[in-house]
Amino acid sequence: MRFPSPAYFLRFLLSVGLLILTTAAFLALRGVIDTPLIALLYLLPVGLSTALWGLAPGITCAFCAFLTFNYLFIQPLYTMTVHRPSDLVMLLVFLLVAVVISQLVGRAQMGLAAAREREREATKLYELSTALAGLQDDQSIAAIMAEQIYATFRGEGVEIGLIGDQPVMRKFPEGSSGSSSPPDLSLPIQAARGLMGTIRLWRPALPASPQERRLLQTFASQGALALERARLAQAESRAKVLEESDNLKSAILSSVSHELRTPLSTIKAAATSLRSGEVSWDSSARGELLAAIDDEADHLNLLVGNLLDMSRLESGALKPKRQWNLLSEIIGSVLERMRRQTEAHRLEVEVSEDLPLVPVDYVQMEQVFTNLLSNSLKYAAKGTIIHIHARTTDPVTLLVQVTNQGPHVPDKHLESIFDKFYRVTAAERVSGIGLGLSICKGIVEAHGGKIWAENQPGGFAFDFTLPLTWDGAPPPHPPLETDVA
Amino acid sequence: MSNSPHILVIDDEPQILRALRTILTEKGFRVTTAVRGEEGLTLAAANTPDVVILDLGLPDMDGIEVCSRLREWTPCPIIVLSVRDAEHDKVAALDRGADDYLTKPFGIEELLARVRVALRHSTRTQGAQSQLVKAGPLAIDLAWHTVTRDAEEVKLTATEFKLLAYLAANRGRVLTHRSILTQVWGPADADHTEYLRVYIRQLRMKLEADPQRPEYILTEPGVGYRFLADE
């Protein structure tokens, strides 16, 4: 049994104090007002005490009032004896009425308190279920639960441990690193499919009331529901991804077998003719055959790289490893690598060295430019101009344009050219699996940018944007220096 | 022929081993091959090769692990082979002591160039370091802290020179972002790649004929930089 708190005694003191105050007032008026009226007036502090401080102080006040009234106002004064039968009746009636009033007021008060408590519970539950609605992953559900339980039960700390190898979600006041003692309250999070985790609550100062236990139980079942819903949603999206990747695989197989065979046939033909000895050692044909093998091997490498990126994009594994980069540097290294392929076209690069740094994955951005350039090289006639241009449209956005003088694409196809395996021309005419542009789209969007295509007077353009901030921040400046070595 | 450089190739692909053995032997190197990491380590200890060519994807152990184990006892140059998307592995191998890397598929000229740099570098570390580094019209005097382009002095800031000097002292070799940042700005700034981008741009503007198509300060995508000097 715990010792009642000082606040509890204070309430008794207050009610007795109130009685003493009113008694003092009545004593001053003893000659002026009638004794029955005083009895009636004594009901005031009794009722007030009950209303303000509860049933027990009210009843105490009633008894004290009964005694004081008898002692100070009933003849003979300053004794506890009663001479007149009518006074005795008055005293008894007073006691009865005082006790009945205390009880009525007290009960109403308790009813009100219970209603308030229920309302608080309902509000907290409402808050919890609103916060949990729509959450799809276990960790954020556990975080919300810990947050709400901590706010509702005002303990020293809360821990939500989920089954499986997930980190324990803790909520402790700032500066505290958690408790080493066993929790004061521990509840399982039980779902239809079994135990999903445990709630542990530290609150040594105040034992949990039955209502609080019930509320915590309800919290636990709300959490279990949310967790179960999240698992179902995850399972569903996994199934969807599986189905899509299955479709992708069969599409890849049919497309790849065709596309990979073309460069392979070239390589095979060139290599066998070189081995056969039918091509003379110093003829120009030999050089051309060797160049064909080299080019087609590069082409195969690009195809395989795109296939790999596509499968990563599908599985969500193509996460950009961002760093602050210079766009001109990226474009420079792509052009260097593609020097031979781009020889037949005229390349114009208008990318200022003074552009701000962009937070991108260098290798992925190279892939974007490689794919956009190979696409442009494929469709635009030899000798035409391919133009790369980059500028900032506003302080936080970079716009990159790759323009060629190739044929227009019908407007209805402009969006779908970024879809997987989508090709505007008949498959036989131009080589490619139709993966390059969809990978560009995947990469640009993973960087938080947008990509689109547009017909322009005399040509065709790919445009994409890249954010110039990383988590909302511009690139940090290196320490300034002006001295000369 | 016993004086010709000895190359140990550790790769689990028999076709690659066959091709490399043929080409490198043709070029006058002595070649030993291993298909597993453990085997490679044993062969390296027994034969003390002049250069090790190491594939990072081995069946029995991590190539990066092979790299660190080799570095425990030998300074012999290590060139790692890896694929395009494995920048992280390349950087890890370089930070653990590998000297250079090549991305598969690679041209044989590239491989031979790297082998030559590696051999030159290993003889250089044994002998005295040359103070004057020449690259086309550029001449960098590491002792006197001067840089000239076509015999005209180029004014560099202290940091610019420190960066250029580090690159030039390691000419031909790839240097990771982290190693350059640690060397030039200090360990506390090892992750500030943006400093590097800004200063490399400044250096290229001052030194390269066309900063967009650099000939001497080359970018190694996702890995670092390399300074290309005259042979």
Mean pLDDT of A82-102: 82
Residue-level pLDDT at B216: 94
Residue A19 contacts B where some CB pair is shorter than 8 Å: no
Residues of chain B contacting residue A332, judged by C-beta atoms under 8 Å apart: 212-214, 219
User: What is d(CA A479, CA A466) in angstroms, rounded to the nearest whole number?
Assistant: 26
Residues of chain B with CATH 1.10.10.10: 132-227
Check residue B42 and give its pLDDT: 93
Give the pLDDT of residue A432.
Answer: 53
Residues spanned by CATH 3.40.50.2300 within chain B? Answer: 6-126
Residues of B within 8 A of A477 (CB-CB) are: 198
B interface residues, A as partner, C-beta within 8 Å: 84-85, 87-88, 105, 107, 145, 155-162, 177, 185, 192-195, 197-201, 205, 211-214, 219, 221-222
Percent of chain A's residues with pLDDT above 70 = 93
Task: Name which of A299, A359, A296 is nearest A326 in CA terms.
Answer: A359
Query: Which residue did the predictor score with more confidence, A390 or A176?
Result: A390
- Rounded to whole angstroms, the Cα distance separating B168 from B226 reads 9
Mean pLDDT of the A215-236 span: 87
Do the Cβ atoms of B194 and A321 come within 8 Å? no
pLDDT above 70: residue A19: yes
Query: Given pLDDT bands bounded at 50, 70 and 90, which one contains residue A175?
Result: low
Say how many residues make up chain A: 485
Vertex B47: Cα angle to B44 and B49 (nearest 5): 70
Kindly state the average pLDDT of the residues A309-314.
79
Q: Is the confidence at residue A149, as pLDDT, over 70?
A: yes
Q: CA torsion, points B92, B96, B97, B100, in degrees to nearest 10?
A: -10
Interface size, chain A vs chain B, as Cβ–Cβ contacts under 8 Å: 84
The pLDDT of residue A121 is: 85
Q: Side-chain half-sphere of A195: how many Cα atoms within 13 Å?
A: 10
Q: Quick one: what percent of chain B has pLDDT higher than 70?
A: 95
Which of A328, A333, A349 comes nearest B221 by C-beta? A333
- What residues have CB less than 8 Å from A359, skipping those under 6 apart? A322, A323, A324, A325, A447, A467, A468, A469, A470, A475
Across the range A82-108, mean pLDDT stands at: 82
What residues in B contact A476, CB-CB < 8 Å? 192, 194
pLDDT tens across B102-153, in order? 988 888 888 998 998 888 877 665 545 678 899 999 999 988 899 999 989 9
What's the CATH number for B132-227?
1.10.10.10
Considering only residues 297 to 316 of chain A, which have any Cβ-Cβ distance to chain B shorter than 8 Å?
Answer: 297, 301, 305, 308-309
Mean pLDDT score across all residues of chain A: 83
Question: Cβ contact (<8 Å) for B194 and A478?
Answer: yes
Please state whether A406 falls in left (phi above 0), alpha (psi between -120 and 50) or beta.
beta
Verify whether the Cβ–Cβ distance A328 to B212 is below 8 Å. yes
Query: What's chain B's average pLDDT?
Result: 89
Q: Going from the N-terminus, what domains does chain A have, and what CATH number goes with each? A: 6-116 (no CATH), 135-232 (3.30.450.40), 238-312 (1.10.287.130), 321-467 (3.30.565.10)
Q: Which residues have a Cβ under 8 Å from the Cβ of A478 and sit 6 or more positions away? A: B159, B185, B192, B194, B195, B198, B199
The pLDDT of residue A1 is: 42
- Token representation of residue A304: 């395989």
Q: pLDDT digit string (tens) for A61-71?
A: 888 888 888 88
Per residue in B43-87, pLDDT tens?
A: 999 988 999 999 998 888 888 999 999 999 888 999 999 876 778
pLDDT surpassing 90 at residue A390:
yes
Query: Could you say which of A309, A323, A335 has the minimum Cβ distance to residue B193?
Result: A323
Better-scored residue on pLDDT, A169 or A27? A27
| Across A161-182, average pLDDT | 73
Average pLDDT, integer, range A110-125: 87
Residue type, A394: D
User: Any long-range contacts for A253-256 (C-beta under 8 Å, 24+ apart)?
Assistant: A255/A421, A255/A433, A255/A434, A256/A303, A256/A307, A256/A433
pLDDT given at position A429: 44
Summarised one tens digit per residue, pLDDT across range A252-286 is: 677 677 778 888 988 998 899 888 877 777 788 88
* Cβ under 8 Å to B: A residues 269-298: 294, 297
Architecture field, domain B6-126: 3-Layer(aba) Sandwich (3.40)
The two most distant CA atoms of chain B are separated, in Å, by 55
**Cα distances (angstroms) measured from residue B195 to each of A27, A50, A79, B159:** 89, 74, 97, 10
In chain A, the percentage of residues whose pLDDT exceeds 90 is 15
Question: Can you give the pTM of this predicted structure?
Answer: 0.62
Mean pLDDT confidence for A287-312:
85
- For A484, the closest of B107, B155, B192 (CB atoms) is B155
pLDDT of residue B127: 47
